[in-house]
Amino acid sequence: MTRSTRAAGRRSAPRANRSRQPAQRAFRTRTVSKALGLTLLSALIPGLGFVMGGRKKLGAFVITLYAGLLLLAAYVALTQRGAIVDLAVDPSRLLLATGGVLVMGFIWICIVVSSHKLLRPISLTSVGRFTGSAFVGLLCFGIAVPTTFAAQTVMAQRDLVGSVFKSEKDSKSATRPNVDKKDPWAKKPRLNIVLLGADDGVGREGTRTDTVIVASIDTKTGDTALISLSRNWMRMPFPEDSPLHEKYPDGYYDPSGPAEQPEYYLDSMYDNIPKKYPGLLGPTDNMGADVLKLSAGAALGLDIDYYMQVNLKGFEQIIDALGGITVNINYKVPIGGDYGAGPGSNTARKPSGYLQPGPNQKLNGHDALWFARGRYGLSDPSRQERQRCTIHALVNSASPAALVTSYNQIAAAGKQLLRTDIPGDILGDFIELGLKVKNANVTNVDLDKSKNFPTGQNPNYEAMRELVQKAIQPKTKPVASTPSNKPSTSTTKKPGKKPTTAKLPAGQPQNLADACAYDPTQTGN
Residues in Cβ contact with 297 at an 8 Å cutoff, skipping those fewer than 6 apart: 192, 194, 239, 303, 304
Question: How far is the C-alpha of 370 from the C-alpha of 319, rounded, in Å?
Answer: 12
Q: Which residues contact 81 (CB under 8 A, 6 or more apart)?
A: 432
Q: What is the pLDDT of residue 4?
A: 52
> Taking Cα atoms as reference points, which of 375, 341, 340 lies closest to residue 355?
375
> Looking at residues 130-141, what average pLDDT do you find?
90
Q: Which amino acid, one-letter code, is at 463?
A: A
Say how far apart CA 367 and CA 8 lie, in whole Å.
90
Q: Which of 116-125, 248-257, 404-413, 502-511 has the lowest mean pLDDT?
A: 502-511
Question: Do 303 and 465 meet the contact criterion of CB atoms below 8 Å apart?
Answer: no
CA 8 vs CA 2, 17, 19, 95, 179: distances in Å = 10, 15, 17, 61, 83
Q: What is the DSSP letter of 239?
A: -
Q: What type of residue is 52?
A: M
Question: Residue 346 has what pLDDT?
Answer: 59
Phi (first) and psi of residue 498, to 5 degrees: -70, 145
Confidence band (pLDDT; 50, 70, 90) for 315?
confident
Task: Identify whether the C-beta of residue 328 lies closer than 8 Å to the C-beta of residue 361.
Answer: yes
Q: Residue 236 forms beta bridges with which residues?
A: 252
Whether the pLDDT of residue 202 is over 60: the answer is: no
Phi, psi of 489 (to 5 degrees): -105, 5
Q: Does the structure show a pLDDT above 90 at 295?
A: yes
Element of type H or E holding 156: helix 126-164
The rounded radius of gyration (Å) of the Cα atoms in the chain is 32
Measure the CA angle with vertex 480, ends 474 and 486; round to 5°.
125
| pLDDT recorded at residue 424 | 86
E strand residue ranges, 313-352: 325-329, 333-335
When mean pLDDT is compared across 38-52, 357-371, 478-492, the lowest value belongs to 478-492
Beta partners for 19?
none
pLDDT at residue 19 greater than cutoff 60: no
Q: Measure Cα distances from 396 to 7, 120, 319, 375, 390 in Å.
A: 83, 51, 12, 24, 10
pLDDT of residue 305: 96
The side-by-side arrangement of strands in the sheet containing 418-420 is: 418-420, 306-311, 190-199, 208-218, 224-229, 442-444, 510-511
Q: Mean pLDDT across the chain, nearest whole number?
A: 81
CB atoms within 10 A of CB 69: 12
Nearest alpha-carbon partner for 449 in 426, 429, 424, 467: 467
Closest listed residue to residue 153, CA positions, set 145, 143, 165 = 145
The letter for the amino acid at 171 is S
Provide the pLDDT confidence category of residue 490 given band limits of 50, 70 and 90.
very low
pLDDT at 110 over 90: yes
- Mean pLDDT, range 384-394, rounded to an integer: 85
Going by pLDDT thresholds of 50, 70 and 90, the confidence category of residue 463 is: very high
The secondary structure of residue 236, as a DSSP letter, is B
Residues with Cβ within 8 Å of 427's Cβ and at least 6 positions away in sequence, in order, are: 89, 161, 165
Q: Determine the Cα–Cα distance for residues 24 and 56; give it in Å rounded to an integer.
A: 13
pLDDT for 300 beyond 70: yes
Length of the chain: 525
Contact 131, 37 (CB under 8 A): no
**How far is Cα of residue 276 from the mean position of the Cα atoms in its chain?**
35
Q: Which amino acid is at 394?
A: L
